[in-house]
Amino acid sequence: MKSKKPSRRKFLSAGAVVAGAAAGALKTGNAEAQEGAAAAPAARAAAPKKDIKELIAYGERSRFVTSLREPAEGRPSPDAFGLTFHVVTPLGESVGSITPSSLHYIAAHRGFYVPDIDPKEHRLMIHGMVDRPLILTMDEIKRFPSVTRVHFVECIGNRSTARRQTVAQTHGMTSCSEWTGVLLSTLLKECGVQKGASWFVSEGAEEVKGASSVPLDKGMEDCLVAWGQNGEPVRPQQGFPLRLIVPGFEGIYQTKYLRRIKVVDRYYMTYNDYGHLQKDPKVQALTSQLGPKSVITFPGGGHQLKGPGFYEISGLAWSGAGAVKRVDVSVDGGKTWKLAELRTPAHRMAHTRFALPWTWDGKEVDIMSRCTDDLGTVQPSRAQVAKYWGEPLTPQFNVKGADNTIQVWRIKADGSVINANFI
């Protein structure tokens, strides 16, 4: 049976009726919208203006975008001594997997200031158990073949506690950037590493010389001497002009303001080790390499859902041992799990964005995510970790070493979201 073509006259007539109705609605029912439109130019005029040359030279985000870093829970920054302490990334407002350089978390600086280093004067010395010690300028370093890789950086203090309620507070001491530089292995091969060498010590140019001992095998595998971050020079708060990236290791190994690498035959006790070395070898084994780990960033702690209906659960997953293989999400307190979709490429030792469509029925519910990396290691729950240590799972239980346990968010009936790990 053929369908009848609509009459052009009827169509135009119907269109006129719709248009008339729309005009009436605009005239009688949309007064608020008209007033808002009239007020918009005035609002724009009232907004602070920047010099057009300044905007052309270096752009800015919209004044309606307000994501900001904040001091980590427990200590202001700057503190009473003027020192920068931990400042966290607003992960609860993040999209994609790359952290803007301006929102990358900051760990404590070892001194009273962020070093103001002239790259023309900066030098990197490589010495110790090498055949040809080198002192390199920035121009000389940049003449070596470069690579660009995506890696996360995470402080070992990045953990959920009873007092930390928002996504930023529980997980904001991790960020992910695209780093550009020269592989450390390239520089070490240029120097000629001697037989018997097994470690290297990296030192920065801060007032208090932060230094870390790293296994030489790790240095030859994937460590990066980076001068670039997210398409521009590494920012001063992140170690300008040169930063060591040790993929998958905790943040204290990622030496900022890198000025010296010494190749040695043993582990060196350094300033950074105080408070980080552990007597218990089981704890120490859980402090260098991080993950696998994940966190739902929306809806997460501090968010407010507007009511029942469709939402997309979204979050970040990463592993210090390799790439994210899969992420599972539970919307019933861990009784059942659904496979989430990976929305960004799963680079090794990098944040990966995941998502799962979900319809909320308006009832109180606990949601959580669980990461599995390409080694097959599965992110544990707090109960599993407590059992490993032979301790009861109570709100007071403190995860030893790096905390990569599953984060539980509770969505209450009123739509508010809280940290349910300690309830």
Quick: pLDDT tens for 256-312.
Answer: 999 999 999 998 887 766 666 767 777 766 778 898 999 999 999 999 999 999 999
Q: Are residues 270 and 297 in the same domain?
A: no
Q: Are residues 180 and 260 in the same domain?
A: yes
Q: Are residues 237 and 358 in the same domain?
A: no
SS3 184: helix
On the question of pLDDT at 109 being above 80, the answer is no
Give residue 112's pLDDT band: very low, low, confident or very high (50, 70, 90). low
- Regarding predicted confidence, which is higher, 222 or 395? 222
- Residue 27 inside a domain? The answer is no
CATH number for the domain spanning 150: value is: 3.90.420.10
- Residue 318 inside a domain? The answer is yes
User: What's the whole-number mean pLDDT along residues 161-185?
Assistant: 96
Q: What is the pLDDT of residues 371-384, one digit of tens each?
A: 999 999 999 999 99
Q: Are residues 245 and 305 in the same domain?
A: no
On the question of pLDDT at 40 being above 50, the answer is no
Question: What gap in Å lies between CA 103 and CA 173, rounded to an integer?
Answer: 11
- Residue 26 inside a domain? The answer is no
- Residue 358 inside a domain? The answer is yes
Q: Are residues 252 and 339 in the same domain?
A: no
- 161 to 286, 341, 371: CA distances (angstroms): 18, 28, 20
On the question of pLDDT at 127 being above 70, the answer is yes
- Regarding predicted confidence, which is higher, 37 or 145? 145
Query: Where does a domain end: 226, 251, 277?
Result: 277
Question: What gap in Å lies between CA 63 and CA 213, rounded to an integer?
Answer: 44
- Residue 218 inside a domain? The answer is yes
Q: Are residues 255 and 303 in the same domain?
A: no
Q: Are residues 166 and 254 in the same domain?
A: yes
Task: Name the range with the highest mean pLDDT among 75-84, 85-94, 122-131, 389-398.
Answer: 122-131
Query: Where does a domain end: 228, 246, 277?
Result: 277
Q: Are residues 217 and 303 in the same domain?
A: no
Q: Are residues 133 and 256 in the same domain?
A: yes
Q: What is the pLDDT of residue 49?
A: 67
Query: Where does a domain end: 277, 306, 338?
Result: 277
- Residue 343 inside a domain? The answer is yes
Q: Are residues 183 and 111 in the same domain?
A: yes
Q: What is the pLDDT of residue 33?
A: 38
User: What's the whole-number mean pLDDT along residues 49-55?
Assistant: 81
Q: Are residues 104 and 206 in the same domain?
A: yes
Residue 128's domain spans which residues?
87-277
Question: What gap in Å lies between CA 319 and CA 349, rounded to an integer?
Answer: 5
CATH number for the domain spanning 380: value is: 2.60.40.650
Provide the residue type at 91 as one letter: L
Query: Residue written as tokens 């940049």?
Result: 142
Q: Are residues 138 and 262 in the same domain?
A: yes
Question: What gap in Å lies between CA 376 and CA 385, rounded to an integer?
Answer: 17
Q: What is the pLDDT of residue 274?
A: 65
Task: Report whether 358 contacts 313 (CB < 8 A).
Answer: yes
The share of the chain scoring above pLDDT 70, in percent, equals 85
Mean pLDDT is lowest, of 20-24, 129-133, 307-311, 405-409, for 20-24
The pTM score is 0.86
Give residue 359's pLDDT band: very low, low, confident or very high (50, 70, 90). very high
Number of H helices, E strands in the chain: 9, 21
Task: Report whether 92 contacts 62 (CB < 8 A).
Answer: no
- Residue 63 inside a domain? The answer is no
- Residue 46 inside a domain? The answer is no
Q: How many domains does the chain have?
A: 2
